[in-house]
Structures are given as structure tokens and as C-alpha cells.
Amino acid sequence: MSSVGAGFRLARAGWVLVREGVIAALPGEELSGLPKFGWQLARLFTRRRALAYERSDRLAKAVVRLGPSYVKLGQFLATRPDVVGNDMALDLAMLQDKMHTFPRVEAVAAIEASLGRKVGDLYAEFGDPVAAASIAQVHAAEAIHDGAATKVAVKVIRPGVRRRFFQDLESYFLAARLQEKYIPSSRRLRPVEVTETLAQTTKIEMDLRLEAAALSELGENTRDDPGFRVPSVDWERTGRDVLTMEWVDGVKMNNIAGLEEAGHDLKAIAANLIQSFLRHTLRDGFFHADMHPGNLFVEANGTIVAVDLGIAGRLGKKERRFLAEILYGFITRDYLRVAEVHFEAGYVPRQHNVAAFAQAIRAIGEPIHGQPAETISMAKLLTLLFEVTELFDMATRPELILLQKTMVVVEGVARTLDPAFNMWKTAEPVVGGWIAGNLGPRGMMIDARDGAKALLTLARQAPELAARTDRLSREIDLMAEHGLRFDETTARAIGKAEAHYGRSGRVALWVIALTLVYIAWKIL
């Protein structure tokens, strides 16, 4: 029955997208056959007033009408331009803070249930909401610290949002499975895996203790960094459904006039923003992955304060080296080295030719060297690079796509502050410093130390590994003698899973068919 419900919810979502003109706003003139017929049918059922809106406005109205879980889906897909395309990703990124607030009394109930204390005992004052997003809203409040009242920001989870999201999540998985089954060309994008990533990231985002931990970690990493920080967390007043943190007094970075009026040096802020992001990415391997200007404040002394760390990105040492060597290789026009890094990291299958891949990369790099540095977009370069890697069977790597998306946003913010912003000159001290420290003699010594530690750990585990190898050898001998066998429970579980998958597909097709019959009946 859950599959039936998921099918109907999916059909309803499609109907809302049609009525609000989202489907009609897509470029359909070049389509042919059944897809073009569907596009024309969608235009027929579009509300007349929706035709007057821009595509981004239509999308925002449709997603808000569908509810918080679809707003979160849109925001998540905005981080995956490889899946939805760059233009659609930019439209989806506009969904920030589009939700209505919920009553103060419901926020109070959520806080008291989460912390087990009365709001009056926790806060000297607790005000009305000042901002609302898909999963939570923020209230201004005052807390008593060391006998003095301190202004704080209190983030509270929306009532019922978890139940609503996990219901809609069934629809997302159904759509992903149908896409993989009936659109083979989309399998490279791994739609089911993308949906699983959405489910995991949202589970994390819906536990505000984990966001508090991310703020704490980024705060420790940036404690000594010039001109950048994150709000401190009040752990006493933080739980699964509530996060209390320092109130930030500053000008939002999307308020250019306000920044100028406050006397800030916009060029210095732009440079600080880019260098801070690259420092977090390369040095720490942990970065704020939702750095749109609404989440960035500038304090009176010019310090950038980043809030809302619900989405964070992590890069391992291999990925950090990958990024640094790519950027440095393009700067020095060493395209063969850029290609070799892709193969060394295992991103491009070995059956491809390194020299041919280097040739494809040269086609991206050479045109940029004839342009002024301030016109060259690092984010666009990475976008083109990922497009080329598709030709060489490089599978989608979510951590790199999230990095690319964040770099697009951060670079866009920097160019808004300073239209003549020179990305490469600004990035060189951070990228060059990281390469000198990690790929030079010092880096070789660090690698040798890490290798020695790994060997020591392996030596300590040698007896256990030997015992496991002996057991595995005996099991392989038994398999060779008697063949591979499943026990009765495993066989029954496999059969049940296959039957359920088949039923889900048939139910979804029936729901879609009934929806089309209903639409045809409406036309007649």
C-alpha cells in the first residue's frame, strides 16, 4: 500500500508542476514524439496566471505549494547541477527562505519537548520568528549567561516535518527507480543513489545537534583564521529539535547597499570569502556547503560570519590533492599532469588513454589563457572539466559535485561584491601554499609518516588477518567442492524482494495510467 500512496503522491506532484507552469517553462520545442506531446499537454493545463511569471517564480510557487519536503528536495537538487542542469540549479537555489512561519506556541512546545524544560526557565525572553526555511525557523531570544542577558538565535524544527518528508521520500525513491529502469541514459547519474544521499543529508539536517556539532567543528578549524568565523553554540539549550547559538549583528552579504553604507571594503570582503572557502576545503577538508549570500553576514570590523550549517561538505586527502593539482595544472598549463591525477585518483577507468584525456583537458584550458584573469571563472572551468569527464566514463562523485556547486555560489557572491574580481590571483596564495606544504618535501615526509603508521597498524592486526585468511581459504575450498548455496532464509528474502520490486513497478504504471485517463477525460 505504501507504493500505491507513493504513486499517488508522485502523480499529484506532477499535476502541481503542470498547473503552475513549470513543465511548460521547460524548453520543449526541440522535443519530438511522446515527450513533445506531453509537453504540449502540460502547456494546455497550465494556469493562465502562471504564464505571466518567470520560470524561477513558477518553480518556487509550485514547490512551496507541495510543501517543506519539496522545498528541501529543490534545495538539494540545486547542489547537483550534473543532474538538473546549471540553469535549473540556479532556479532551485532561489528557494531559500520561501516558507511561511509557524505559530510561536508550536515552537515553544517543540523546545520544551526536546529539552525537557519550560521555555521560561531556558530564556529570559523568547520572541516571534524572524526567518523561516523548509525544515526550521529562527526566533530571537535572550538567555542568561553569567548573570547577564545575552541575545541568542533559536532555531526550531517545523512540527510534523519529519513525518511529511519521509512520506514524500517514498515518492522520490519510486521516481528514481522508474527513471533508472526506463531511461537507461540516466543511470550514469545514479538517481537512486542521489535519492539515498538526499535521505541521509536530510536526516542529519533534521537533528539540530548535528548542525551544532558542525558549527563547533568549523569554529575550531577557523579559530585563528583572519576575518572569518561561525556563531558559537549554546549546548545547554540545544537538542534534537532546537539549536541555540550566538546572535549575529551584521549586514547580510546580499545587501550591497548596506555594506557600502557601513563603509566596508567590498573588494577585501570578496577576497576574504574566496580565500576562507579554499582554506577550509584544502587545509581542513571540511567546508560550509550552503554559502549563499543570505547565510553570510559581515560584522562591523569586516569579519565574515557564516550561519546555517545544515549542509556541509567533506573532502579526503586524495580529493584535496585532486582539486589542488587540477587548479595548479591549469594555471601552469600542465594538462598531462591534470590527466594523470584523474587516473591516479581512480576517477577515470584505466582502459582510457591518458594522452587522449590530456588532449580533452587542453581543449578546456587553452581558451582561458587568452583571456584576462578577471574574466576566467574557476567554477566554470570545473564545470567544463566534469562535462569532459563524462566522455571518459567518469562516474558521478557527489563530494566533488558539492564542491563545484559551492564554488559556483561563492565565486558568484565574490563577483557581485567586486565585478573585476581576479579569482586566480586571489586563490594563488592558498592553493600554492597548500601544494608547497603537501606535495613538496614536507608533504612527502607527512605521507611517509602516515604510511609508517598504517604499516604499524597492519602489523598489529597480522594475527587476526591470518586467522581470517585461513577461514576464508577453507570456505572457498567448500564452495569449490559443493558449489555456492543459499540458506532457506536468504532464498526466501531474495524472492520476496524481487516480487515487491515487480509489484511496485506495476502499481506505479497503473497510477500513471489512471492519471492520464483522468486528464484525457478532463480534456473531453
Query: Edge-to-edge strand order for the sheet containing 228-229?
Result: 228-229, 304-306, 296-298, 251-252
Residue 265's SS3 state is coil
More confident: 242 or 96: 242
Quick one: three-class SS letters along 225-255?
CCCEECCCECHHHCCCCEEEEECCCCEECCC
pLDDT in tens, 451-479: 566 566 666 776 776 777 767 777 776 66
Cell triple for residue 39? 509537453
CB 138 within 8 A of CB 154: yes
- Residue 523 banded pLDDT, cuts 50, 70, 90: very low
Q: In terms of C-beta density within 10 A (0-12 exposed, 13-18 middle, 19 or more buried), how is residue 48 classed?
A: exposed
The pairs formed by 414-419 with CB atoms below 8 angstroms and a separation of 24 or more are 414/270, 414/271, 414/273, 414/274, 415/270, 416/256, 416/293, 417/253, 417/256, 417/259, 417/266, 417/267, 417/269, 417/270, 417/273, 418/266, 418/267, 418/270, 418/271
Residues in the chain: 524
> With left for phi above 0 and alpha for psi between -120 and 50, is residue 287 left, alpha or beta?
beta
Please give the average per-residue pLDDT across 298-322, as a whole number: 88
Q: What are phi and psi of 138, to 5 degrees?
A: -115, 135
pLDDT in tens, 341-400: 878 877 777 888 889 888 888 887 777 665 655 565 666 666 666 666 667 776 666 666
pLDDT in tens, 186-199: 676 677 877 787 77
Fill in the amino acid letter for 160. G
Angle at 390 between CA 387 and CA 392, to 5 degrees: 130
What are the counts of helices (DSSP H) followed by strands (DSSP E) for the chain? 22, 10
pTM score above 0.85: no
Residue 285's SS3 state is coil
Q: Is 290 a catalytic residue?
A: yes
| CA distances to 100, 278, 342, 371 from 386, in Å | 37, 19, 11, 21
Which residue of the set 87, 290, 308, 447 is catalytic? Answer: 290
pLDDT in tens, 4-48: 777 778 788 888 888 887 777 777 666 677 767 777 787 888 887
